[in-house]
Amino acid sequence: MQSMTAQREPLSPAQVAAENSRSPFVRLTDLIAGIEPGKPVINLSVGEPQHAIPDFVGPVLASHLAEFGRYPANKGTEPFRKAVAAWLGRRYTLAKPVDPEAEVLVLNGTREGLFLGAIAATRYVGDRTGKPAILIPNPFYAAYSAGAAAADCEPVYLPATRASSFLPDLDALDEALLKRTVAFYLASPSNPQGAVASRDYLDRLAALSRRFGFLVFADECYGEIYSKDKPAGMLEAAGAGFSNTVVFHSLSKRSNLPGLRVGFAAGDKNFLAAFLELRNVAAPQVPGPMQHVAVAAYNDEAHVEKNRELYNAKFDLADQIIGDRYGYKRPAGGFFLWLDVSKFGGSEVVTRRLWAEAGVRVVPGRYLAREQADGSNPGADYIRVAMVQDAATTGEALHRIVSVLG
């Protein structure tokens, strides 16, 4: 059996690069390989919602089965695009209505859009002053980094730590970097910390994008899961033309439909036209019956409100069980706990220990981040806990964590 307190061996730069290119979940599997779970397993590692899917999904699919026999348009069906545009208008305070014809594009979930978006952005933005760069919050969703690599851009990791309210510090960006920036990825609510960018923050980012000519890719897939206040949206800050701004949404979290693989990109019509040209040759279409389910989902808020209540009930449990341990503070949005375990040996040691002693599977924060220029890793002291199981299972897992760590 591996030692629970074994120190991480120093890695060479080449080894670090190789490790960083692997999926966090593959690395997690390797980390706990050979260790028997100490109790019946509770998996809180993957951000896969476990709440029930909406009741309307089956009937809507059944009524449109014949459409599986036809190739759908890559841009999305007209009913889908209209439903998305209408929902955006209800959800956010926008300078103008979203044009469903030119400003909405269907996606196979947000991951493929966030990945391919980087390639399209590099072609669209054109020459930069110096090596093209894509700015990425650190920690981050792995698709951002993969997209930057595929686009042959330098990924620049912006530390998103407690000192900067778990968002990139816009004041720390120098002009030389901004002049070579192709795209800036921002997740709000953020994964894994649950930080929500204020409207002022979004306004400042939008102003920078217009001044320096880069795109803002706003990953808002957790935007409907929040504790109190609705998160502001990047389209609200983009102005009437939505210039230089693209928002990415999906039904995975909002509607508990991770297997449906339906999402959308909306915003700058000129970029979306270029993006569609790439997707026409590089991405699969989204099946028509799935888009009909999405239309029903975006026209219904009752299941979203119920979903949010279920998450808030589990965060109430975290407030009670975790309390003020591990630097815990109820996140403004999203469904993760980002727990500081530096006093217990750091993210990898604690992840192994929770698996071996409690049967609880979490993700080491180190695997969700990259080493900065000074050698530090913003996730090294944290574990990510996905609050996706039912309340009873979640409560049991939290009690086990406290029992092990104290």
Tell which residue, 236, 177, 247, 249, has the closest CA to residue 208.
177
Q: What is the pLDDT of residue 126?
A: 87
Whether the bond between 192 and the residue before it is cis, its omega within 30 degrees of 0, is yes
Q: How far is CA 310 from the centre of its chain?
A: 20
Q: Report the run of H or E that residue 149 belongs to, with start and end.
A: helix 142-150
Instruction: Give the pairing type, strands 133-138 and 104-107.
Output: unpaired
Per-residue CA distances from 295 to 178, 196, 219, 220 (Å): 38, 27, 20, 18
Tens digit of pLDDT for each residue in 71-96?
A: 999 999 999 999 999 999 999 999 99
Number of alpha carbons in the 13 Å side-chain half-sphere of residue 264:
27
Rounded average pLDDT over 206-210? 98
Q: Is the pLDDT of residue 315 over 70?
A: yes
- In whole angstroms, give the CA distance from residue 352 to residue 364: 9
Q: What is the pLDDT of residue 13?
A: 53
Q: What is the pLDDT of residue 94?
A: 98
Q: Is the pLDDT of residue 10 over 70?
A: no
Percent of the chain with pLDDT over 90: 94
The reported pTM is 0.94
Rounded average pLDDT over 231-252? 97
Q: What is the pLDDT of residue 21?
A: 75
Amino acid at 3: S
Domain 13-51+303-405 sits in CATH at: 3.90.1150.10
Q: Is the pLDDT of residue 4 over 90?
A: no
Q: What is the pLDDT of residue 14?
A: 52
**N-to-C CA span, the chain:** 23
Tens digit of pLDDT for each residue in 369-383?
A: 999 999 999 999 999
Q: Is the pLDDT of residue 236 over 80?
A: yes
- In whole angstroms, give the CA distance from residue 155 to residue 178: 13
Q: Are 247 and 265 in contact (CB under 8 A)?
A: yes
Tens digit of pLDDT for each residue in 166-192?
A: 999 999 999 999 999 999 999 999 999
The CATH number for 57-299, chosen from 3.40.50.620, 3.40.640.10, 3.10.180.10, 3.40.50.11440, is 3.40.640.10
Tens digit of pLDDT for each residue in 23-66?
A: 999 999 999 999 999 999 999 999 999 999 999 999 999 999 99
- In whole angstroms, give the CA distance from residue 351 to residue 393: 18
Domain spans in the chain, listed from the N-terminal domain onward: 13-51+303-405, 57-299
Report CA torsion sign: 327, 311, 29, 142.
Answer: negative
One-character DSSP codes across 292-332: HHHHHHHT--HHHHHHHHHHHHHHHHHHHHTTTGGG----S
Q: Is the pLDDT of residue 2 over 50?
A: no
Dihedral-angle region of residue 346 (phi above 0 means left; psi in -120 to 50 means alpha; beta otherwise): left
Q: Are 99 and 85 in contact (CB under 8 A)?
A: yes
- In whole angstroms, give the CA distance from residue 149 to residue 39: 40
Per-residue CA distances from 196 to 92, 228, 231, 394 (Å): 15, 11, 6, 23
Q: Tally Cβ neighbours within 10 Å of residue 20.
A: 17
Tens digit of pLDDT for each residue in 129-148?
A: 999 999 999 999 999 999 99
Q: How far is CA 380 from the centre of its chain?
A: 19
Q: Is the pLDDT of residue 20 over 80?
A: no
Burial class from Cβ neighbours inside 10 Å (0-12, 13-18, 19+) for residue 323 reads exposed
